[in-house]
Chain A
Amino acid sequence: MSLLAAILAGMFLAAGAIFVLIGSFGLWRLPDFYTRLHAAGITDTLGLSLMLVGMMFLGGWTLVTVKLVFIMLLILLTSPTATHAVANAAYTVGLRPFGVPPEDLAEKDR
């Protein structure tokens, strides 16, 4: 593995880990379910992609990289669906969002 690839891998891994940590921290810190959805989104998109790209640099041009690409595509395609499903389930039963002005909500939820 060349030095450049090693440095790039290290940078991507570090950045990804930082974003994963920020996302998890947000999941703990934010006040309600709907805002926490966004924090989980950080982990699922940028944190995950950056870490996997870093690992691709470690793997080089091999089948390992192909598998990493598959994992990344799979999660990027399925995570919005899962997020929407959770959000939709919560909204359907009328879980009230924190801090949203009342004129935004449907009649039944006010």
Chain B
Amino acid sequence: MMLAAATVGLLVAMLIVLARAIAGPSLYDRVLAVNSFGTKIVLLLAAMGFLSGRPDFLDIALLYALINFIGTLAVLKFFRYRHLGVASPSDGKAETTR
């Protein structure tokens, strides 16, 4: 019962965060929102596993937690160095805030 209520809460939270991801205004707000969205998806997957009575689905939640982290780091590496290869410090300031 409480699990269902918590799931509804998660879904509402996801809507709010998605609104922030779309509204921006800066790129960093969007990265933060998508990262936070990912955390909520992990929780939602775990909750869905319990709701359907098959908690084995947690494997996917675990995979998500990993992917979400790696994805965020890749995005930020791209921000700071402008490419995904070897970092060159001179490129760090090329990005403006929007």
Contacts and interface: CB of A to CB of B under 8 A. Distances in A.
A89 to B, nearest CB: 4
Contact of A21 (B2, B12, B56, B69): B12
Contacts, number: 150
A17 B69 CA distance: 22
Interface residues of B, number: 48
Contacts of B2: 9-11, 13-14, 54
A2 interface: no
B86 interface: no
Interface residues of A, number: 48
Residues of A contacting B: mostly: helix
B73 A82 contact: yes
B46 A90 contact: no
Q: Tell me the dominant secondary structure on chain B's binding face.
A: helix
A68 interface: yes
Given A17-B6, A27-B17, A48-B43, A74 B66 contact: yes
Contact of A68 (B12, B58, B73): B58
Interface of B: 1-3, 5-6, 9-10, 12-14, 16-17, 19-20, 26, 28-29, 31-33, 35-36, 39-40, 42-43, 46-47, 50, 55-56, 58-59, 61-62, 65-66, 69, 72-73, 76, 79-80, 92-93, 95-97
Interface of A: 9-11, 13-14, 16-18, 20-21, 23-25, 27-28, 33, 36-37, 40, 43-44, 48, 51-52, 54-55, 58-59, 64, 67-68, 70-71, 74-75, 78-79, 81-82, 85-86, 88-90, 92-95
Q: Across the A-B interface, give the 8 residue pairs with the lowest CB-CB distance, nearest first.
A: A10-B2, A17-B9, A24-B13, A17-B6, A78-B69, A90-B28, A13-B6, A24-B16
